[in-house]
Amino acid sequence: MFCIQTAEGQDSTGVDNILCLGIRGHYGFIIPHSRQIKELSYSRPWGLEAEIAWHLMSENIWRYCYCYPRTGFGLFYVNLDNPDILGYSVALYPFIEPYIRAEKKLNFSFRFGIGPAYVSKYYDPETNPDNFFFSSHLSFIVQLSFAVHYRINEHFTTRLGFNYNHISNGGIKVPNVGMNYPTINLGLDYSLKQAVFVERSRQAGEDLYDKKCWFDAYFLGTAKNAEKGEDHLYPVIGAGICYNYLVGRILAVSAGTEWISDFSEKERIKREYAGDPEAELPDHNRAAVLLGIDVLFGRFSFIHQWGIYYYEPNPARNRMYQRYGLNFRFTKRLYTGVNIKAHGHVADLMDLRLGIIF
């Protein structure tokens, strides 16, 4: 997906993008963010990661962030250090990674990636009752990382990084406590052709976006089950509207509101009040105010929002929640994306969305 719009073979200045290969090892620990998984959090995950990426060299790309970003795909294998209960995971995820001071031998990068993950062991009430991390083979990984690079020569670069990794099924099935495991990684990158970064000058007063502020409205949808161990999925739908204000070249702040109707929550309420047919059931709908930041890279935007419920007749796990997402604008006004909503460290749902900018 990332490569469709950005990884052109050559730009108008005649500077080619660079195809890169990388490999690295990971070692980390599991954060015991829930009492349900505290006894399993002694494990020390270790893993191997390989990637293919394009270092984007065009002036148009550079002007978005005054940096040379990479975009590509990572293949990430992690042994969770408990073969009988936790097993292992394999993830394939796309990422975007802005490089700061790429023209220098010593440089830095920040990475955001999200994609599907396979986990070999998951909760089963009879055969694996202790694994509250996962409830199905198919999950999703969200990865944030910071790395320091040292360029040995025009082809080889060393990498030392810190990752924050989260794996869950996005709340589709329960139990779904999810796993948060930071890792340190060390590896080597190889550029298939000589890496030469043009030192470009910034132009004062240069604007990348024709609007300083804008609104966007969206509709979202997904599905969840109501209780652990069951297979039936109930729909989750919602809508929201946000006001966005550009405060830098690629950074915007946002404020808005969203409404979510979770029919798995409606089913749980019905079951809870099944013994009292005269009771008035609380509404399963919820509404929240949102505050957030958007990092903009051309057609892509990475969002981090904080939500506070102002309407929740049936209280949620926490009154506050966070959203992490990646949106892609496929026309000037329309965009699509994937978001994860979490109460603290526990993922509540992963949704797909369609939005309009005006």
Three-state secondary-structure class, residue 2: helix
DSSP state of 211: -
The domain made up of 2-191 is a member of CATH 2.40.50.90: no
Model confidence over 20-67: pLDDT tens digits? 999 999 999 998 877 777 778 888 999 999 999 999 888 877 877 778
How much of the chain, in percent, has pLDDT values that exceed 70?
Answer: 92
**2 or 281, higher pLDDT:** 281
Q: Are 290 and 261 in contact (CB under 8 A)?
A: no
Asked if the domains at 2-191 and 213-357 fall in one CATH topology, the answer is yes
How far apart are the C-alpha atoms of 139 and 126, rounded to whole Å? 21
**What average pLDDT score do residues 158-169 get?**
93
Q: Is 97 exposed, middle or buried (0-12, 13-18, 19+ CB in 10 A)?
A: buried
pLDDT band for position 300 (50/70/90)?
confident
What is the CATH T-level fold of the domain 213-357, as seen in this structure?
Porin (2.40.160)
User: What pLDDT score was predicted for residue 46?
Assistant: 97
* Helix runs in 169-233, H state only: none
> Nearest to residue 95, comparing CAs of 65, 56, 64?
56
Per-residue pLDDT tens for 72-115?
A: 999 999 999 999 999 999 999 999 898 988 888 999 999 988 88
Give every CB contact of residue 180 below 8 A, 6+ residues apart in sequence: 30, 31, 33, 164, 165, 166, 345
For residue 241, the model assigns a pLDDT of 97
Q: Where are the domains of the chain?
A: 2-191, 213-357
